[in-house]
Structure 1
Amino acid sequence: MRTYKLFALALATITVTSCSETGYKFKLSTTKKTTLGKKAAIKFEQLEGNKADSVHIYVDNKRVNKNETSLALDTDKLGLGMHTVSALAFFPGKTKKEKASIEVLADKAPKVYGYKLINTFPHDKEAYTQGLEYKNGFLYETTGRRGESSLRKVDIKTGEVLQKIDLDKKYFGEGMTILNDKIYWLTWQARKGFIYDLETFKQIGSFDYDNSHEGWGLTHSDSKLIKTDGTNKVWFLNPENQKEIKNVQVYTDKYPVDKLNEIELINGKVYANKWQQNSILIINPETGAVEGVADLNGLKDLVTKDQKLEEQDDVLNGIAYDAKNNRLFVTGKHWGKLFEIELIEK
């Protein structure tokens, strides 16, 4: 149990006041919004009625006090995002509960990036791209839509599909990644993923999602699978049993960023597409802070010079990285082009 020093409420606060037919009245005040690195205040006050025997204060369902009812919390330990606060007051034979929240924003605005176009390659415009990864000189790609989802091995230079299997028609395929010569492939709303042998594309396993309800994007570090679910959360999974072990909430210095889609881990940072936007977010996987934003709308313009995109969500979706040669590849849903680019800080 951590010990927290007493703290006067000096920041912007949110207050919840309760009164009941039994004559008890309470006020739970918290710092409504603050930034990472600052203190967040919690104060519980009983305004009317016999004094409670004890008060337990919880943040995200973890108790944070001993006997004190006024606290200052370290937001570096809380982490970014929205955190639930609750106070339980105990009386003989009964308890009373109050709820509030604390929202922690990133402490710095993200850097802004443009891009330099290095190369352009053909890409199958029938591919509703969901996942993209570079491995041993080839691109591996998953496509979506129920009844149309597939896993592919692709020649980068020609766009030719060299190897392909289709997903069972009842599933909507989503993102994928490759770790230890195994392909991990997510589905959208079935809360199920599949595991394949890299060389043969033979299915060798499956897994269920524990806490997140959907599967969107997938990448990996040396020790974990990293997953998005369409919210502002990035999940970390044990690659041995695919269990979700923790998550971080993704925030800028102003707001949460949701609809996180296809992702790739590049030089220790998570690069993420945001659904229905032609941009890449650069996210610190330890904190969830958005450290950079790259505007890639110009790439969609290059695609539409040669083809008509039929649907609203035919946008940037697909990030792959060749670490050995420092090459960054991007494409989009139904895009007839694959681009090699270099991000340039503005």
Structure 2
Amino acid sequence: MLRLLLAALALCAPLVAALPIRAQAPAAAPAGAGTARAPVIVPRVVARFPHDRAAFTEGLIWHDGHLYESVGQTGRSDVRRVELATGRVLARAAIPATQFGEGLAAWKGTLVSLTWHDGIAHRWTGALKPLGTLRYRGEGWGLASDSRGFVRSDGSDTLTFHDPRTLAETRRLRVTLNGRPVTQINELEVVDGAILANVWHTPYLLRIDLASGRVTALIDLSALVAELGLSDPEAVANGIAWDAQRRRLFVTGKNWPTLYEIALR
């Protein structure tokens, strides 16, 4: 585990001098950030909600008036519907014990959840009844959807777009920040025509232009990480959900006891 953490941290270049001056210097920014200044948004916390601290969060979405979450770990992965106000699990569907559950997205009333290494995507109803599976190539990390279909991350600097019905690949998009590739892209969400993405083992979200792949802003969650004060190095920020109807943005992390509603303005 330590070797894995050190390898991941080695991908993060310190950018304290490159970022706008603030009262407190931010944590290391994502790999590929280079030395140019990057715009940084420090979000405002609107509300705090309980979150299951045993949930190794891999995917988070707001769909049809409900919060859904995909939880990872081999033998303990599931997809669940969660009551926002209390964090209580209202419904749950288990992923096969040999698979590691990953990203989660919705398409026209159907939920789709990825698996890490298996190339299997599970389809669910809103009530979390199984609807079968689809196949894709490569690793599954994060998943999001817009009006055209799905977009998937695999831990690299490339996002892959998929047909929403078959998961056939339709295009790829390389993500860059200040002209350099950004790796370790994880959980995804489409918000107002742009992609928000967690970067593994950093407290940053990327705001990515869907046409060019250019990172247009960094969203700094360092204050939330500091507030929680968790000692587990794997308890990283991961989980973004967007309630488009009420324009609410939620974030959480792996084994975090709190889910936050944040505002970017």
Please tell me the TM-score bracket, short chain as reference.
0.7 to 0.9
Matched, 1:154 2:82: yes
Which string of whole-angstrom CA distances, capped at 9 and with x for unpartnered residues, describes residues 25-82 of structure 1? xxxxxxxxxxxxxxxxxxxxxxxxxxxxxxxxxxxxxxxxxxxxxxxxxxxxxxxxxx
Aligned equivalents of 1:209, 1:109: Cα separation in 2: 37
Q: Residue 172 of structure 2 aligns to a residue in which SS?
A: strand
In structure 2, give the amino acid aligned to 1:330: V
Question: For the Cα contact (< 8 Å) 2:107–2:149, is it kept in 1?
Answer: no
Matched, 1:286 2:207: no
User: Greater strand share, 1 or 2?
Assistant: 1
- Report the RMSD for the aligned CA atoms in angstroms: 1.6
Q: Go from structure 1 to structure 2 and tell me whether the alpha carbon gap of 1:288 and 1:234 turns closer, same or farther (over 3 Å shift).
A: same
In structure 2, give the amino acid aligned to 1:326: R
Q: Who is 1:320 aligned against?
A: 241
5 Å matches for 1:39-50?
none
Q: Who is 1:214 aligned against?
A: 139
5 Å matches for 1:65-84?
none
Which string of whole-angstrom CA distances, capped at 9 and with x for unpartnered residues, describes residues 196-239 of structure 1? 1112x1211211113xx200000101111111011011111001
Aligned equivalents of 2:133, 2:169: Cα separation in 1: 14
Give the TM-score normalised by the residue count of structure 2: 0.84
Question: For the Cα contact (< 8 Å) 2:151–2:161, is it kept in 1?
Answer: yes
Q: Residue 43 of structure 2 aligns to a residue in which SS?
A: strand
Aligned residue pair count? 232
5 Å matches for 1:171-250?
171-199=99-127, 201-210=128-137, 213-250=138-175
- Structure 1: gaps spanning 5 or more residues: 1-104
In structure 1, give the amino acid aligned to 2:133: S
Higher relative contact order (CA 8 A, sep 6+): 2
In terms of Rg, which structure is larger? 1
What is the CA-CA distance between 1:111 and the residue it aligns to? 2.1
Q: Residue 311 of structure 1 aligns to a residue in which SS?
A: coil
Aligned equivalents of 1:109, 1:287: Cα separation in 2: 19
Aligned equivalents of 2:49, 2:149: Cα separation in 1: 31
Aligned equivalents of 1:333, 1:171: Cα separation in 2: 18
Aligned equivalents of 2:243, 2:118: Cα separation in 1: 31
Correspondence for 2:41 among 113, 124, 127: 113
What is the CA-CA distance between 1:160 and the residue it aligns to? 0.5
What is the CA-CA distance between 1:263 and the residue it aligns to? 0.4
Which string of whole-angstrom CA distances, capped at 9 and with x for unpartnered residues, describes residues 262-321 of structure 1? 0000000000000111111000111110001011111012222xxxx3531211100001
Q: Residue 235 of structure 1 aligns to a residue in which SS?
A: strand
Q: Who is 1:302 aligned against?
A: 227
- State, as a whole percentage, how many aligned pairs show the same letter: 34
Q: Who is 2:55 aligned against?
A: 127
Q: Residue 247 of structure 1 aligns to a residue in which SS?
A: strand
Aligned equivalents of 1:160, 1:232: Cα separation in 2: 35
